[in-house]
Structure 1
Amino acid sequence: MPVPSAVRTQPRELLRDNVYTSLRDAIVDGTLSPGERLRDTEIEAWLGVSRTPIREALLRLERAGLVVSQPGRSTIVSPVDPASTVSAQQIAASMHELAARLAVPRLGGEALAQIETAALAFERAVVEGDGDRALTHDDEFHDVLVRASGNAMIAEVLELATPLLRRAERTRFTSFAARDSVAQHAAILDAIRGGDADRAAALSRENWLSLDLVAEPVSDTDAHPGEDTGTG
């Protein structure tokens, strides 16, 4: 398991969450690739923690579908499974639909400003082809509605569903297809500004379900359909 070279010291009060987050992010961003064997001793050296919080984090990651434990043998990063990805996508779409429906009537000026800022930052990241930044600002955009919904269980469910989507989303948000998400965010914003909770909810659901998370990355040729491909 090729762990990152920098050792991270975890604060005691958030030790479990920080170990989980560090491992989750390394899986999502590809530092730990599908099929990679996860060894406790190497994780201990990387994160500077004891084995107990590591085992707890691995159990959470297994529940989220990001690792697979083989009793008496090893724990590995789970392969990217299209069926599981689609299942997680469906759950995420439903949760974000509900969040928007509940949040729009409750949104104040500050929350609206946060959504607008996130939408603009997302668009810039997509135009610049920065997938990591695009994902961060996409989270910011939707998280405003999740927080404003007043339903804490939405965030809890999304905590399980969302990580499975991240590996696939990283590919989309560096592709030409990501521009569709920019337009979808703009439509959601229009509905929010108009106080139309049902429309914002429907558009949020559509935004998540429209992500072609199991497709191959868009090639340069696909991104420029006007160029001659030589196929006639």
Structure 2
Amino acid sequence: MTQKFAPLAPRGAALGDEVHARLADAILDGTLAPGEQLRDQELAEWLGVSRTPVREALQRLERVGLVEVIPHRYTRVALPRAEDDTMEFVAYLMGNLTRMTAARATDETLREALTYADDMVHAARGEDRAALAERSYAFFSFLTRAADNVAVRRVMKEAEVAIRRDIKDWRPFVDCPVARGGLYQEYRDALAARDGAVAEDVLRRIHGLA
């Protein structure tokens, strides 16, 4: 196989985390394509590291479904999961994060969350679905921090890359920009009022789960 990576330049982070991040990014951007076989020795040589951090990174990626391992046969980049399953998981998780943020965020954190929400509302009123997906994910990522829940952060540290891969071709449930923008505005206003229950209800309507 052709050399696909420049050797890692140590940045002070744990080597295993750096290898994991590099491989995850390569899967996301298609450098490592779905179905492509992965050989730990080859990856280690490309990255200029030993096989140990590569094996650890592949195990982490297997746990979240980005890598498929069949013992004594192959290790390969997994095919994408069903987008609907991942989007359902994200929507329900985002509802819980909304409730936690509404209940416990400081005023300053809430204002920052609303800045992200305003960007999302603006994108929802347009026709650029990729922009809406990008703004929505930025908001979702912020909520994982704003909710101030250690368990959520631990889960997302491992699952984030798989979620990003599975929903990269996401399309909004509400097709009409006017109706869609109105729902996103309702969600934003409920969060601003710290009404987590209403915000979660609107979020489910946005994603067709009500």
TM-score, L = length of structure 2 = 0.77
Equivalent residue, structure 2, for 1:223: none
Cα distance between partner residues in 1 of 2:200 and 2:57 = 33
Say yes or no: does 1:101 pair with 2:99.
yes
C-alpha distance 52-169 of structure 1, shift in aligned 2 (>3 A): same
Residue 40 of structure 1 and its aligned partner are, at CA, apart by: 2.0
Equivalent residue, structure 1, for 2:44: 44
Q: Give the match's secondary structure for 1:9.
A: coil
> What is the CA deviation profile of residues 103-158 of structure 1, one whole-angstrom value per residue up to 9, with x for unaligned ones?
10222332233223334555569969594x76554333123322232322123334
Moved more, 140-149 or 113-122: 113-122
Letter in 2 for 1:108: T
Cα distance between partner residues in 2 of 1:70 and 1:19 = 21
Unmatched segments (≥5 aa) in structure 1: 212-232
> What is the CA deviation profile of residues 87-117 of structure 1, one whole-angstrom value per residue up to 9, with x for unaligned ones?
4333333222111111102223322332233
Residue 24 of structure 1 and its aligned partner are, at CA, apart by: 1.5
TM-score, L = length of structure 1 = 0.70
Q: Report the count of equivalent residues.
A: 206
Percent of residue pairs identical: 33
Cα distance between partner residues in 1 of 2:129 and 2:6 = 23
Unmatched segments (≥5 aa) in structure 2: none
Q: Give the match's secondary structure for 2:169.
A: helix
2:86–2:166 contact (8 Å) kept in structure 1: no
Say yes or no: does 1:60 pair with 2:60.
yes
1:93–1:205 contact (8 Å) kept in structure 2: yes
Equivalent residue, structure 2, for 1:10: 10
2:105–2:146 contact (8 Å) kept in structure 1: yes
2:20–2:58 contact (8 Å) kept in structure 1: yes
